[in-house]
Chains A and B, each alone.
Chain A
Amino acid sequence: MKRAPIAAFLAVPAVLLALSGCGADAGEGPASDSSETASENFPVTIESALGEAVIEQKPERVVTIGWGSADTAVALGTTPVGVEEVTWGNDEHGNYPWVTEAIEERGDELPATFTGGQDIDIDAIVALEPDLILAPNSGITQEDFDVLNELAPTVAYPEQAWNIKWDDQISLIGKALGEPDAAKDAVDGIGQSLADSAAEHPEFAGKTFAYVWGGGAPGSLVLYNEGDARVDILTALGMTVAPEVKDIPSSEGSFTSDLGLESAGKLNDVDVLFTWYNDEAEQQRTEEQRLFAQIPAVERGSVVRSLDRQVGMASSFLTPLSVPWVLDRFEPMIEEAVAKVD
């Protein structure tokens, strides 16, 4: 009777951990005359780990499940009719603020939200009458997929749940929406804005970092590795994954590894430590652990803590909407931490 709830509880953090991104660039915008050219791009077939989606024509009623797909759809010119309700880092519309802002700017109606997670509200999706379901960065099961794909062509993850590179996700969504060029522009645009930020902050260059989360098991840290969007965004800003950290292999099927605090010595040479917390209580119980507190970066205060869930989420995503939204807020935090390195 102890095991069942614990197993259930482990599932949600797994979801929280597996963040990655999607998107196109808000600044770049979708190609304005894309609708004519778009029709040439159909029909299109997209393979995924759970089966293939055959999209006959340009979709109009798009539903998104999981992370970042709503961002990218909006950025590529299609406002979804329904999105999985965001319950972490959400605004009052059950969505991410940067997505809501982009839709409002465009003057479109905000999408309906439906309950997602492990118990997706299929009835609500049926009622939305979708002609495309985007879930390339999600945890949908084979069972979910089979039901959804009957309803409308469904794009799932290429190999593993919650595991897709941010640029692949954008390309995939571009293909499904018949906007491959706009998707490519969006990926390039993200690269460009990150490169611009890096150029504005020469002091970031070459600073080593590790990105950890300590709210899971007591005495342990989750370590995000290369390939995870939140690490990718920092390397794109010119920083480097600390060498000792880089050598720790990722756990099977994820971009993370576990680090017992007894091995906190591996973080000794890290210039800046990045971390996020669900709340202050989590911060307190993580940071009161002596082996965490003695990490040199923590001792000298060169730590970037995302306690603001929206910033935490946006810096875990690389999407055309999240990147510009978060850079303004994230850069000053990094500046402050980097200033304490020496």
Chain B
Amino acid sequence: MPRSTSSINQRILAEAGNPGAAGADAPAAPRRQLLGARRGTVLLAAGVGVLLLAVVTSLAVGAHQLSPAEVAASLWTEITGTGSTYADDVVASRVPRTVLGLVAGAALAVAGVMMQGLTRNPLADPGILGVNAGAAAAMVTGMAFFGLGATSANVWVALPGAVLTVLVVYALASGRRGATPVRLVLAGTVISAVLMSYIQAVALTRPDVFTMYRFWAVGSLSGRTMEQAYEVLPFFLVGLVAALAAGRSLNALALGEEAAASLGLHPQAAKIMGALAAALLCASATAAVGPIGFVGLAVPHIVRSFTGPDHRWLLLISAVVGPALLLLADVAGRLVAQPAELLTGVVTALLGAPLLILAVRRMRAVA
């Protein structure tokens, strides 16, 4: 995205410690101005509101119709561990998918912001640095050669695969002049292609691996367990904190590496840290629910159309909008094809596309 000198100056001012002054008293200002604290807080509150609504919907709405009172009663029996009617089981089965939706949605959206910021490529998403392919390749290797099942200890395998892949991509992209956005994207694409061929080769020659991989590679919130959420939670939290803390660095990097360096940042170190945080987040999400597309790509754009380019707000608000989108997509998947279910990953694409188009149009209108 083109950035004018004035916006750079404003951003530097804002970085200097007065974020409130930039936009709070100028609601009609162009969007490339930094977001003020008040407006940012309002947007964040709105995002949290949507997220709460999505959580309630995810617990209450599905193929099996229940009244809010029944849902509440079922949640209570679940907490107290008394009784177990079919309705209780239905509601209980929605708890892990809601929790996983929160984790995976936030992870993918935040990772998407990180990827787009680090590569300065608006089309970047968690797939672009080879993260998904790396996680999947590690899973397949574990299944084929180390007797790994599809349910247990995913994250311990997926995660090193993802992180290692990001490092390899980064090393490949870093020539003498450092990793440029284009080189990063190229290296990521090449490595992903190589890994996907490897996955295909292993999975197709080993039918047993193939069935396990296929089950895992279906991006879906359903049919997973709380254990899968618990397993990825620590990694997700570390990644999330690291990512949210990277807002300032991303803002500085957006000015170009020299400007960033002049602000006292080590661009290479910031990039590697950022990429690792993103890898951690994507790998957590992918290990827990399989690859889910579009959330990482679309959510940052949707949010950016409201917040403008300040990465601190962008990260924070994406972390609440991402899960909201994912949960609503999951609910839609339960409803539209009854008695079958549409896979969450399929719905995110269907739901994300119009939202993305809307966001892009909005962006152009105010640019």
Tell me the A residues contacting B by CB distance below 8 Å. Answer: 1-2, 4-6, 8-10, 12-13, 87-88, 215-220, 248, 257-263, 265-266, 268, 278-279, 281-282, 284-285, 288-291, 294
Contact = CB atoms under 8 A, between A and B. Distances in A.
A220 B340 contact: yes
A216 B215 contact: yes
Nearest to B219: A2
Contact of B223 (A1, A217, A268, A278): A217
A9 B341 contact: no
Given A261-B93, A284-B151, A291-B90, A218 B223 contact: yes
Given A2-B127, A294-B86, A262 B196 contact: no
Contact of B340 (A6, A258, A285): A258
For A88, A260, A282, the residue with the greatest tally of chain B CB atoms inside 10 Å of its CB is A260
A9 B223 contact: no
Nearest to B340: A258
Nearest to A3: B293
B253 interface: no
A8 B218 CA distance: 13
B338 A263 contact: yes
B223 to A, nearest CB: 3
A261 B200 CA distance: 29
Contacts of A8: 200, 204
B29 interface: no
A281 B91 CA distance: 26
Contact of B222 (A2, A219, A265, A266): A219
A290 B89 contact: yes
B285 to A, nearest CB: 13
B327 to A, nearest CB: 15
Given A2-B291, A9-B217, A215-B215, A279 B334 contact: no
Given A220-B340, A261-B93, A289-B93, A9 B222 contact: no
A30 to B, nearest CB: 34
B334 A218 contact: no
Range for the number of chain B residues in contact with chain A: 35 or more
Interface in B312-363: 334, 337-341, 343
- Give the one of B150, B151, B341 with max A CB within 10 A: B341
A5 B93 contact: no
Which 4 A-B residue pairs are closest in the complex by CB-CB distance? A219-B222, A218-B223, A260-B341, A219-B223
Contacts of B290: 218
Contact of B339 (A219, A259, A268): A259
Interface string B234-269: 000000000000000000000000000000000000
Interface string B131-149: 0110000000000000001
Contacts of A257: 339-340
Given A262-B63, A262-B341, A266-B339, A282 B215 contact: yes
Given A260-B339, A263-B64, A2 B218 contact: no
A331 B74 CA distance: 40
A290 B142 CA distance: 27
Contacts of B343: 217
A291 B89 contact: yes
Nearest to B97: A219
A10 B290 CA distance: 15
Q: Which of B64, B223, B290 has the most chain A CB atoms inside 10 A of its CB?
A: B223
A215 B211 contact: yes
A294 B74 CA distance: 15
B3 interface: no
A285 B133 CA distance: 23
A219 B228 CA distance: 14
A38 B86 CA distance: 60
Interface of B: 62-64, 84, 86, 89-90, 92-93, 97, 127, 132-133, 149-151, 192-193, 196, 199-200, 203-204, 207-208, 210-215, 217-218, 220-225, 290-291, 293, 334, 337-341, 343
A290 B196 CA distance: 33
B223 A220 contact: yes
A12 B208 contact: no
Contacts of B133: 1
A218 B214 contact: no
B341 A258 contact: yes
A262 to B, nearest CB: 4
Contacts of A216: 214-215
A281 B196 contact: no
A261 B208 contact: no
A216 B220 CA distance: 12
B42 to A, nearest CB: 36
Contacts of A2: 127, 132, 217, 291, 293
Given A2-B132, A284-B151, 8 more contacts: A88-B207, A215-B211, A219-B221, A219-B341, A260-B63, A260-B340, A262-B334, A285-B151
B333 to A, nearest CB: 9
Contact of B151 (A12, A259, A281): A281
B342 to A, nearest CB: 9
A152 B96 CA distance: 56
A287 to B, nearest CB: 11
A51 B213 CA distance: 37
A284 B93 CA distance: 16
Contacts of A281: 149-151, 212
| Most B C-beta atoms less than 10 A away, residue of A87, A259, A263, A289 | A263
Contacts of B90: 262, 265, 291
Given A4-B196, A217-B220, A262-B62, A13 B214 contact: yes
A10 B193 contact: no
30 contacts: A1-B133, A2-B217, A5-B217, A6-B217, A9-B213, A12-B214, A13-B211, A87-B207, A216-B214, A217-B215, A217-B343, A218-B222, A218-B223, A219-B224, A219-B341, A259-B339, A259-B340, A260-B222, A260-B340, A260-B341, A261-B341, A262-B222, A262-B334, A282-B211, A282-B212, A284-B151, A285-B149, A285-B215, A289-B93, A291-B90
